[in-house]
């Protein structure tokens, strides 16, 4: 009997030593996997913030275009810039627009503006509609990366442009 008890005790000690070894392997695996997992999660967060910024900028430009549409031909560049910047929750949005509405003849389907600007009193070549006054609003936002490694990769500026018919 004494031999059996000693053997059982020996087996129990070996199991405890084996369990410690397994815990050490798990700790090493975690030490290897945790930084990779953190890098993937940080990259996903960076991508999500970029998409959120793009959405905020698109909404702000849409608000500026709606304001210009409602105001009509008396709209000023300063008011459109202020509207876009106030509608955006992003700081550092750069808004540009043509200095004054431009008369142009729309054509095609989907409608595009012809490249030569025309006089507002002229008649378009299609003869069906006269030229309209259009204002193009462009807003840009420079993204700041969540990851320091990602700062030099890809296009880090989000741009949104809209052309609004004022008349």
Contact by Cβ (8 Å): 141, 61 = no
CA 20/CA 5 separation, integer angstroms: 23
- pLDDT, tens digit (0-9, with 9 covering 90-100), for 96-131: 876 566 777 776 666 666 665 667 777 777 665 667
User: Tokens for 34?
Assistant: 């945790």
Q: Say how far residue 166 (Cα) sits from the centre of its chain.
A: 28
Structural domains in the chain (count): 1
Res 36: pLDDT: 92
Across the range 131-155, mean pLDDT stands at: 74
Question: Which range of residues forms the domain containing residue 149?
Answer: 2-165
Give 26-74 pLDDT, tens digit per residue: 888 889 999 999 888 888 888 888 899 899 999 999 999 999 999 888 8
Q: Which residue has better confidence, 152 or 72? A: 72
């Amino acid at each position: 009997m004494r031999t059996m008890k000693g053997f059982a005790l020996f087996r129990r000690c070996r199991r405890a030593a084996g369990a410690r070894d397994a815990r050490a392997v798990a700790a090493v695996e975690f030490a290897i996997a945790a930084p990779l997992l953190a890098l993937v999660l940080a990259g996903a967060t960076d991508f999500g913030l970029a998409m959120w910024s793009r959405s905020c900028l698109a909404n702000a430009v849409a608000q500026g275009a709606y304001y210009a549409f409602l105001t009509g031909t008396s709209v000023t560049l300063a008011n459109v810039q202020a509207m876009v910047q106030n509608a955006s929750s992003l700081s550092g949005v750069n808004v540009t627009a043509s200095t004054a509405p431009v008369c142009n003849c729309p054509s095609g389907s989907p409608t595009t503006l012809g490249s030569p600007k025309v006089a507002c009193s002229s008649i378009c070549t299609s003869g069906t509609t006269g030229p309209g006054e259009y204002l193009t609003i462009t807003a840009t936002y420079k993204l700041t990366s969540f990851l320091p490694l990602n700062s030099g990769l890809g296009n880090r500026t989000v741009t949104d442009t809209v052309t609004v018919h004022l008349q």
